[in-house]
Amino acid sequence: MARIIAQLLSLGWFLLAARLLDREQFGQIGIALVVVAVTSALAEFGVNRTLIRHLAHGGANRSTVRRAVLVRCAGAALAGPIVVATALAIDVDAPWSLLVVAAALSWMSGVTDLHLAALRAMGSVRVEAAVLVGERLIFLVAASAVLAGGGGPTALLVTYLVTNALSATIAIRAVAARSFVPGSTPGTPSPPAAPMLDAEGRRTAMLGAVSMLVPRVGAVSIAVSGTAFVVGGMSLAQRPVDAMLVLGATALTVVHPEARRRLAAGDRHGERTLVATAGWSMVAIGLAGSLAAWLVAEPALRFISGSGSYADMAGPLVALLAIAAVSLGRHAAEISALAEARAGDAAAAGVGALVSGAAAAVILVPTHGVAGAIAAQAVAELTGLVVLVWCAAIDHTAAPTVPAAPGDPGRQWSTSGAAT
């Protein structure tokens, strides 16, 4: 429920910005958020997902969390300048100051996400939910004040950075005040950090990186080659899609522990039937959502903008929602691969999706613009799904014995919302 509320609050500030800023300024925010997403994916390289997997298997201690945070911060310190320098070199349609703030936001959101993941692993779900929803609510109020006062994209993103820093501080203090070891008191020294990356963990980490990038192939290609005006339209169409992906992935979290339970009982057929049913259900719901959007998208976009300046994005919005349904099906197939300890298959499918989508974008976007970006996104998602289904079909090994573990090491969306 907390994630649903957080997504609605995030959608609220985004729609408010679309209404109060002109389309070019809104597009600059879209470019900045693409920088955040790419930097986060390169900097994290699956650290969040790997930490959750590690803690779920009993490796919970503060040393492990500290090491994960250091790795994430070091990655952001390296990836941030590279992404910003690349964006400036290809002359994206956004000021350098906005790109620098975006890189800083990626660094800060990584710190927040890791500590929220630690709280979740410690069973402090209510604290995590309070921090998550509280940050979004504070930012919505602050963003409204900034926009009402005539603030532009940079001022809005600085506000986002400040509120994220506040939530990071609260999350850090909350982790420090709690004990990982049942029966011990807060402040007791933690045992040395255990190794986080076995072979399966390394594959899971790679999957974490590519999973953040695959759903944004189209958005990245438009940000690289389009004007801020074009990016603004694409950003508005992409935002409801991101919300749908987060909510769908959250709904699928209940599938992973049940899949592991069935595997542990030797019921591989039951596990695959469960995942297939969940996946097809998500696809059906997503396609129904895209059909509903087809009926209301244009008047809704006219209402949001107040001037009809985004009405041309009704078609792209419907298409992206349909593609998101495929993405949720791919996510369900990833859950099956992870439950069966086939993270290598899931990572290979993610890399294949990323490469095929990027290749399609290079060919199609220069001549077809937004339509080319949407086609590239469709190529990426379909490639990933087909590879995962094919890998599952040819895997004839015996069902692995998998101990039940709490948590879901499936796709980890940014809890702070910065990368979404």
Q: Which of 379, 386, 323 is nearest to 355 (CA)?
A: 379
Tens digit of each residue's pLDDT (9 = 90 or more) over 221-240 = 888 887 888 888 888 888 88
Lowest mean pLDDT among 18-27, 173-182, 238-247: 173-182
Helices 228-252 and 23-44, packing angle to 10 deg: 50
Tens digit of each residue's pLDDT (9 = 90 or more) over 243-278 = 888 888 888 888 888 888 888 888 888 989 999 999
Q: Per residue in 194-203, is it b (16+ CB within 10 Å) or e — as a string?
A: eebeeeebbb
Domain boundaries, the chain: 1-196, 206-411
Tens digit of each residue's pLDDT (9 = 90 or more) over 288-321 = 989 998 988 888 888 877 766 788 888 999 999 9
Does pLDDT of 214 surpass 80?
yes
Mean pLDDT of the region 8-27: 85
> Can you read off the two tokens belonging to residue 68?
């994960």
Lowest mean pLDDT among 61-75, 102-116, 289-303, 356-370: 61-75
In contact, 79 and 36? CB cutoff 8 Å: no
Residues with Cβ < 8 Å from 74, sequence gap 6 or more? none
Question: What's the confidence (pLDDT) of residue 156?
Answer: 92
Tens digit of each residue's pLDDT (9 = 90 or more) over 116-173 = 877 876 777 788 888 888 888 999 999 999 988 888 899 999 999 999 999 999 988 8
Tens digit of each residue's pLDDT (9 = 90 or more) over 379-411 = 999 999 999 999 888 875 544 444 444 444 444
What are the C-alpha distances in Å from 241 to residues 35, 318, 336, 394? 18, 9, 23, 32
Tens digit of each residue's pLDDT (9 = 90 or more) over 83-131 = 889 888 887 888 889 999 999 998 888 888 888 877 876 777 788 888 8
Mean pLDDT of the region 33-43: 85
